[in-house]
Amino acid sequence: MIVQFHIIFFILLFSFPVKAQINKDPFARSARLPDISVGVGFNQNTLEKYRVPGGSLVFNAMYFDFNRRFLVGLDFTKNINNRSSSIFIPTQNQEIGDVGNFRRLIYNSTIYSVRGGFIFNEKLYVVVGTGVESLNEFKEYHAQDSNSYLSVFHQETNDTNLLFYTKFGIMYRFDKFISEFFYSKRGIGFGVNYFFGD
């Protein structure tokens, strides 16, 4: 259902009624693309209580209203090194703990969030995002046998944690491209957006 909402939102962004916004030329009335952007970013995850090793990719779409000086958008974030359970074939009543030493709990992270922001001028924007982070828990083991074909393996615990998520960012526009830097408890990151408006 959440994925369907994201798809519908993206369609609405691109089918937004095309109107000429106020600009420096008072006689400009020609139809043009709405002021929207799509982007991708990278987030370096911090190893806090809920550890998500490595980085995450961030995808977003935004709509800009320069007349009212605000922006709105949607974000989707997913960790790059997505874990899955290792295939374990027991022999002689073995359990996974008999062949590996438990090291730590780690998580796969998926974040759905909305963002809003204030437009200072045509180039500088500040952004605040909020949403929900879903964390799937895994146990990480190191193989007891140094000759094992897997030195590290994982076992899914089937536990899922839902956390409230917030982030803060600043954006700067260079012609058709918008650079973005953001911070959250999950990590720090940067991104680039392509702007479809004039």
Residues of the chain with pLDDT under 50: 2-3, 5, 9-10, 13-29
* Joined tokens for residue 182: 């953001």
At 163 the pLDDT is 92
36-87+97-195: CATH topology is Porin (2.40.160)
Helix (H, G, I), strand (E, B) or coil at 175: coil
Q: Indicate the pTM of the whole model.
A: 0.76
- Extract the tokens encoding 84: 């899955």
How high is the pLDDT of residue 88? 56
Q: Can you give the pLDDT at residue 19?
A: 42
**What confidence score (pLDDT) does residue 21 get?**
45
Contacts of 155 (CB under 8 A, 6+ apart): 85, 86, 88, 96, 138, 139, 141
Domain ranges of the chain: 36-87+97-195
Q: Which residues of 92-116 are buried (b: 16+ CB within 10 A; e: fewer)?
A: eeeebeebbeeeeebbbbbbbbebe
Burial class (CB in 10 A: 0-12, 13-18, 19+), 39: buried
> Tell me, what's the pLDDT at 27?
39
